[in-house]
């Protein structure tokens, strides 16, 4: 009997197109229900990480708790470690370096993921408190690239540390508890904003105008009628009242502000976004959305061929300067110490190492489609974003990854069913940005940027896809184990 051959439903051209064309994959279309549930569940832990860590100090502290809770120990320079050991360095309370020792010596290369844990915010000046026409205010200096108007008229919380004259450290967190007061920056009412409307957006709001409203009540002394009358003649009684409250609660004086690091951050918790809860909105996704997943991945990876390292650095938003930034030599010292402890070549260790510079990218926003080049943009729910180069206007300031290393990362992800896409940061002449990749590349380490696409990047409330967040975890795990 002649066997019946079924004719293909697709034409030759259709099959060829399917084979040759690149098509991005949309998460909710290609992932099964179990994987999507894992993504949603993973984000519950990430929410807590965001809520508990709104400054780089707090993120570092929470990360240490997670690491120590999973058996990681403080790294001792010069000590020889065994395969499987988990170690970490806490550099200045703002920079965490965690590593899992592999079976092979480090001259075979270290798998590195480097993120940053600082986010745009509003810092207090060193002499912040003043009184003006019935109000007390804090003077501020904003940190990182912000749109000033986004920070006005929203509830703000005060976070940070004060080092008193006697050396005692006082941690401050006001505005997060339901019963706490909050703070805000006032804005001009529309009825009187004629001149404000006439200005360019960049000129309508000044840095010196971002003054934090902190009180309006005068200090009073009811000890006696005479004392009350004398007190009423004291100038700056509202400022005095604020200092009196702070002294009673924290034991500080005005001069202690000089040795303090205090910041205003949004007084809001991470929240699900959308009726379908498919997205997560929060302050600080940039770049904690690329910090939490690799830390959790490193914890899960117990037995590794190559040593793996996760770096959470400070100061990226202001150029990566300083001893807690990615330009600090602490990372190089750590790698060299590992090499020395294993009696292997330091230069070879750097040369054979591989790194993912873990930082966010701009997700395509159809409300502002004109600034994106859609063929080379990241899309929400399409997975983690591989960014071959960053920089601005002709790749200025960029670390442009080699084709060979991009292909290596691509193969790792494909072999492990990672949902991923490529992107650049907007149209060529529109703007741009940078990451820590260049500082790692300068050590002769192959590096490419990988992260999560965000809506409203650098705003007080940024939005990310839960699928993309979870894919950052799976991508980190695949790279660490590669």
Task: Give, for all 482 residues of the chain, the pLDDT tens digit.
Answer: 455 555 558 899 989 998 999 888 899 999 999 999 999 999 999 999 999 999 999 999 999 999 999 999 999 999 999 999 999 999 999 999 999 999 999 999 999 999 999 999 999 999 999 999 999 999 999 999 999 999 999 999 999 999 999 999 999 999 999 999 999 999 999 999 999 999 998 899 999 999 999 999 999 887 778 878 888 888 999 999 999 999 999 999 999 999 999 999 999 999 999 999 999 999 999 999 999 999 999 999 999 999 999 999 999 999 999 999 999 999 999 999 999 999 999 999 999 999 999 999 999 999 999 999 999 999 999 999 999 998 888 888 888 999 999 999 999 999 999 999 999 988 888 878 889 999 999 999 999 999 999 999 999 999 999 999 999 999 999 999 99
Strand order from edge to edge, sheet including 279-282: 271-273, 279-282, 462-465
- The tokens for 170 are 């006082």
Residues 108 and 155 in one domain: no
**277 within a domain of the structure (yes/no):** no
CA distance 232 to 228: 6
Q: Are residues 322 and 413 in the same domain?
A: yes
Neighbours of 153 (CB within 10 A): 11
Contact (Cβ atoms closer than 8 angstroms) between residue 416 and residue 478: yes
Predicted structure pTM score: 0.94
Inside any domain, residue 28: yes
Contact assessment for residue 472 and residue 451, using Cβ atoms and an 8 Å cutoff: yes
Cα(first)–Cα(last) distance of the chain, in Å?
A: 52
Q: How many domains does the chain have?
A: 2
Does residue 87 sit in the same domain as residue 174?
Answer: no
Is there a single domain that holds both residue 334 and residue 473?
A: yes
To the nearest 10 degrees (0 to 180), the angle between helices 466-481 and 33-52 is 90
Give backbone dihedrals phi and psi of 335, rounded to 5 degrees, phi first.
-60, -45
With respect to residue 452, please indicate whether it lies within any of the assigned structural domains.
Answer: yes
Sign of the alpha-carbon torsion through 375, 379, 384, 389 = positive
Q: Structure tokens of 73?
A: 């120990």
| Three-state DSSP class for residue 45 | helix
Q: Which domain holds residue 321?
A: 19-119+283-481
Round to whole Å and give the CA distance between 196 and 190. 9
| Same domain as 300, residue 441 | yes
**CATH number where 240 lies:** 2.30.250.10
Q: Is 90 inside any structural domain?
A: yes
Tokens 């019946």 -> residue: 4
Encode 183-214 in three state secondary structure. Answer: EECCCCCHHHCHHHHHCCHHHHCCHHHCCEEE
Whether residue 222 sits in one domain with residue 292: no
Among 240, 266, 292, the domain-final residue is: 266
Q: Would you state the pLDDT for residue 222?
A: 78
Q: Are 448 and 406 spatial neighbours (Cβ–Cβ below 8 Å)?
A: yes
User: Maximum CA pair distance of the chain?
Assistant: 119
Tell me whether residue 1 is in a domain: no
Residue 431 confidence (pLDDT): 77
Residue 1 pLDDT: 47
User: For residue 470, which of 99, 30, 46, 50 has the smallest C-alpha distance?
Assistant: 46
| 25 and 132 belong to one structural domain | no
DSSP string, 69-105: HTT-EE--TT----TT-EEEEEETTTEEEEEE--SS-
- Per-residue model confidence (pLDDT) at position 473: 98
Evaluate whether residue 47 is within a structural domain.
yes
Whether 266 contacts 155, CB under 8 Å: yes
**348 and 461 fall within a common domain:** yes
Answer whether residue 316 is part of any domain.
yes
Q: Do residues 66 and 106 both lie within one domain?
A: yes
Which residue, 453, 298, 427, 291, is CA-closest to 357? 291
Q: Do 347 and 361 fall within a single domain?
A: yes
Instruction: At 369, list the tokens.
Output: 């489609």
State the CATH number of the domain containing residue 314.
3.40.630.10
Quote the tokens at residue 148. 């000033």
415 falls within a domain: yes
Q: Are residues 99 and 141 in the same domain?
A: no
User: CA geometry: angle at 225 spanning 219 and 229, to 5°?
Assistant: 55
């Amino acid at each position: 009997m002649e066997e019946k051959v079924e004719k293909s439903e697709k034409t030759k051209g259709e099959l060829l197109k399917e084979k040759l064309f690149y098509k991005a994959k949309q998460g909710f279309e290609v992932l099964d229900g179990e994987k999507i549930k894992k993504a949603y569940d993973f984000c519950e832990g990430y929410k807590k990480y965001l809520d508990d860590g709104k400054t780089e100090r707090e993120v570092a502290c929470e990360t240490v708790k997670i690491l120590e809770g999973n058996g990681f120990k403080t790294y001792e320079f010069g000590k020889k470690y065994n395969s499987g050991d988990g170690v970490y360095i806490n550099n200045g309370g703002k920079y965490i370096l965690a590593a899992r020792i592999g079976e092979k010596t480090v001259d075979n290369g270290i798998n590195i993921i480097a993120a940053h844990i600082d986010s745009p915010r509003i810092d207090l000046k060193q002499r912040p408190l003043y009184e003006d026409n019935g109000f007390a205010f804090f003077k501020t200096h904003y940190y990182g690239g912000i749109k000033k108007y986004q920070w006005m008229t929203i509830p703000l919380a005060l976070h940070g540390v004060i080092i008193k004259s006697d050396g005692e450290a006082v941690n401050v967190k006001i505005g997060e508890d339901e019963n706490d007061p909050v703070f805000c920056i006032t804005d001009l009412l529309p009825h009187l904003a004629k001149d404000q409307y006439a200005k360019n957006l960049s000129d309508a709001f000044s840095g010196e105008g971002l003054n934090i409203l902190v009180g309006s009540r005068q200090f009073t002394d009811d000890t006696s009628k005479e004392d009350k009358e004398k007190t009423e003649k004291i100038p700056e009684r509202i400022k005095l009242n604020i200092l009196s409250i702070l002294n009673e609660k924290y034991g500080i004086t005005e001069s202690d502000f000089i040795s303090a690091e205090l910041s205003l951050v949004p007084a809001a918790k991470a929240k699900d976004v959308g009726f379908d809860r498919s997205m997560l909105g929060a302050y600080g996704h940039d770049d904690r959305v690329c910090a939490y997943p690799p830390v959790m991945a490193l914890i899960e990876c117990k037995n590794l061929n190559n040593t793996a390292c996760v770096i959470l650095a400070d100061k990226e938003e202001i150029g990566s300067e300083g001893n807690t930034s990615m330009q600090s030599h602490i990372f190089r010292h750590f790698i060299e110490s590992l090499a020395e402890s294993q009696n292997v070549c330091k230069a070879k260790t750097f040369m054979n190492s591989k790194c993912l510079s873990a930082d966010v990218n701009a997700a395509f926003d159809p409300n502002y489609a004109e600034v994106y080049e859609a063929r080379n943009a990241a899309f929400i729910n399409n997975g983690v974003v591989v960014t071959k180069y960053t920089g601005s206007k002709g790749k200025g300031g960029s670390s442009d990854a080699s084709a060979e290393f991009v292909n290596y990362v691509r193969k790792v992800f494909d072999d492990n069913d990672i949902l991923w896409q490529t992107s650049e940061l907007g149209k060529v002449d529109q703007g741009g940005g940078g990451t820590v990749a260049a500082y790692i590349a300068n050590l002769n380490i192959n590096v490419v940027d990988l992260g999560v696409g965000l809506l409203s990047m650098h705003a007080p409330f940024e939005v990310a896809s839960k699928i993309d967040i979870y894919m950052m975890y799976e991508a980190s795990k695949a790279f660490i184990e590669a």
